[in-house]
Amino acid sequence: MYVNFIELKKSVSITQVLDAYGIQLKKERNQLRGPCPICGSDSKRAFVVTPSEGLWHCFKCDDPSGGDIISLVERLLNLRPKEAARDIQQKCLNVTTEEKADKPKGKLKPLSYLQAEHETVQELGIPAEVATKLGCGYSPKGIMRGRVAFPLRDENGKLIAYCGYSSKDGTLKLPTF
């Protein structure tokens, strides 16, 4: 499942995360304080959350001892960042793992700047006219920069992705879109 970390952090406040995970803290001026739910420190001032910043910090935890909503859930549940983000989506936004939350919409557009005549394409033995018909070529910019990009299409001919060949190390690179 695709997770847009930036959009997730814009959509879910740290106080929503505290509520969703049952973390109860006391308000002190512009902060929330209490025992640390991560390290278990029972000091009433060990764990601090600054809602206006969307950040947390524990004065008793080992490093790293602070961060945003994703790092909080990551440390709290011992998850990887993407797993923590998915868990936040499920608990705070009611997004199930089957849904494609925040996935970019629209269809993939052909890379119009690919250079079919480039020497790297020719080194692969692909004539420029064939490369043009296939829609492949050397990419001077973007995610495929420095590679010969090949379009990947589904059974209906719809462009679904690009893969790229790098002559530097002789390996095929598969970018994630």
Among 59, 93, 127, give the residue marking a domain's end: 93
Alpha-carbon distance of 15 to 71, in angstroms, equals 14
Task: For residues 126 and 167, state if they share a domain.
Answer: yes
Total number of domains in the chain: 2
Task: For residues 67 and 141, state if they share a domain.
Answer: no
Alpha-carbon distance of 72 to 56, in angstroms, equals 7
Task: For residues 15 and 89, state if they share a domain.
Answer: yes
Range of the domain at 75: 5-93
pLDDT of residue 74: 92
Alpha-carbon distance of 78 to 62, in angstroms, equals 14
Task: For residues 85 and 128, state if they share a domain.
Answer: no
Task: For residues 84 and 127, state if they share a domain.
Answer: no
Residue 70 belongs to domain with CATH number? 3.90.580.10
Does 177 score more than 50 pLDDT? no
Task: For residues 89 and 24, state if they share a domain.
Answer: yes
pLDDT of residue 170: 54
Task: For residues 89 and 13, state if they share a domain.
Answer: yes
Residues 6+ apart with CB under 8 A from 118: 137, 138, 148
Domain membership flag for residue 108: no
Mean of all residue pLDDT scores within the chain: 85
pLDDT of residue 102: 46
Match 């629209």 to its residue by tokens.
106
Band of residue 168 on the pLDDT scale cut at 50, 70, 90: low
Task: For residues 89 and 133, state if they share a domain.
Answer: no
Conformation bin of residue 29: beta by default, left when phi > 0, alpha when psi is -120 to 50: left
The model's pTM:
0.54
Task: For residues 139 and 89, state if they share a domain.
Answer: no
Residue 149 belongs to domain with CATH number? 3.90.980.10
Report pLDDT digits (tens) over 3-53: 889 999 999 999 999 999 999 999 999 999 999 998 888 889 899 999 999
Task: For residues 9 and 64, state if they share a domain.
Answer: yes
Domain membership flag for residue 102: no
Task: For residues 77 and 11, state if they share a domain.
Answer: yes
